[in-house]
Amino acid sequence: MTTLGKTAGGLYWMFRHLERSENTARMIEVGQRIALTRSSDDDEWGSILQAAATHAGYVAKHGEVTRDLALDWMLRDPDNPSSVLSVVKAARDNARVVRTALTREVWEAVNEAWMTLCAAMRRKVHDRDLQDVLALIRQRAAFVRGATHGTMLRNDIYDFCRLGMFSERADCTARILDVKYFVLLPSATAVGSRLDDVQWETILRSVSGVGAFQMRYGQQLRPREIAEFIIHDRAMPRSLAFCAHKLEENLGYLAADYGTRLPSHEIAERLNQRLLGRSIDTIFENGLHEFLMEVQHCLAHLSQQIEIDYRFYR
């Protein structure tokens, strides 16, 4: 059994891009919800663009942040490499290159996602269609994930898919927290004080975690617990700990499969033990922002090393 380096890279990026399409849709949902539930201003769209790591590109093209322009930028703009259409196209292009590594079901799911979303966003998305389009984006990503889960062999090919997915998800969760970290700082919320409802919702909704949080911690919202939930909770599929654990696990399968441990495995281990092994108190003491920077840096390093270790490009 052999897998081309190019194929491994194509699978990794195909799943990163798919994960990104869903994350972007979720961020837009959050922005939309804030806009609808609050006396309107466009402030939130700035931080949403930041959380989606596409603020600089937006500002370079449009300057001032407005809701309409931000929406179009994040959904459709070909100049934005992270717009939903751009990433779905990239996912599909990658899928085409790695077609022989995919099952028919997975290929058709991603090809259909591309066809359906292109059709749904051929023109600027009208407000009354926005919810449907966002639901469609998430649904299509879920179809691909489902087809992958249900039909792909559990071998190295599957591991590369999972590595792409969890790298992107971990990165996204870290970014969301980083954009809003100040809300969780002890100084902003003295013991017993309540968080700004909108702010906590922003964070939890961004990681699809409102219901999950309440199930775990009840109705009371404490910044420490929200941080704990999103950073450490291994039951929460978008938490940093969950993603980092999956990254290490999938790299572990590859190590067993190939019979070699590589530098990327050390980085994943460090991410899990040295970074995510810290208690919330320690993290807050040393600075939440600094911690999140360190996590993002480590994830970027891991991604580069995986690319080298498994010969994506040379």
Partner 1 sequence: MSKSSSFDEMWGHETVLRDPYVPINEWLQQEDAGRLRRKARDAEDLFRLTGITFNVYGARDAAERLIPFDIVPRVIAGREWDRLSRGIEQRVRAINAFLHDIYHRQEIIRAGRVPIEAIERNAAFLPQMIGVDPPGGVYTHIVGTDLVRTGEDEFYVLEDNARTPSGVSYMLENRETMLHMFPELFMKTRVRPVSSYPAMLHRSLCACAPNSSNGRPVVGVMTPGSYNSAYYEHSFLADKMGVELVEGQDLRVVDGRVAMRTTQGYQPIDVLYRRVDDDWIDPLNFNPDSALGVPGIMDVYRAGRITLANAPGTGIADDKAIYSYMPEIVEFYTGEKALLKNVPTWRCAEPEALSYVLDNLSELVVKEVHGSGGYGMLIGPTASKKELSAFRDKLKARPGNYIAQPTLSLSTVPIFTRAGLAPRHVDLRPFVLVSPEGVSITPGGLTRVALKKGSLVVNSSQGGGTKDTWVLEQ
Reading the block at residue 252, the tokens are 């572990």
Residue 111 binds to partner 1 (criterion: CB under 8 A): yes
Residue 129 binds to partner 1 (criterion: CB under 8 A): no
Residue 72 binds to partner 1 (criterion: CB under 8 A): no
Residue 220 corresponds to which amino acid? Q
CA–CA dist 309, 254 (Å, integer): 11
With beta carbons less than 8 A apart as the criterion, state whether 230 and 203 touch.
yes
Residue 314 binds to partner 1 (criterion: CB under 8 A): yes
Select from 295, 303, 297 the least CA-distant residue to 160. 303
Residue 122 binds to partner 1 (criterion: CB under 8 A): no
CA–CA dist 46, 69 (Å, integer): 11
Residue 96 binds to partner 1 (criterion: CB under 8 A): yes
Residue 246 corresponds to which amino acid? K
Residue 3 binds to partner 1 (criterion: CB under 8 A): yes
Q: Which stretch binds partner 1 (CB under 8 A): 104-112, 127-135, 231-239, 241-249?
A: 104-112
Residue 99 binds to partner 1 (criterion: CB under 8 A): yes
Q: Which is nearer to partner 1, 35 or 97 (CB)?
A: 97
Q: Report helix, strand or coil for 83.
A: coil
CB of 97 to partner 1, least distance (A): 5
Residue 118 binds to partner 1 (criterion: CB under 8 A): no
First to last CA, the chain: 20
Q: Which is nearer to partner 1, 184 or 247 (CB)?
A: 247
With beta carbons less than 8 A apart as the criterion, state whether 86 and 80 touch.
yes
Residues at the interface with partner 1 (CB under 8 A): 2-8, 93, 96-97, 99-100, 104, 107-108, 111-112, 115, 156, 258, 260, 310-311, 314
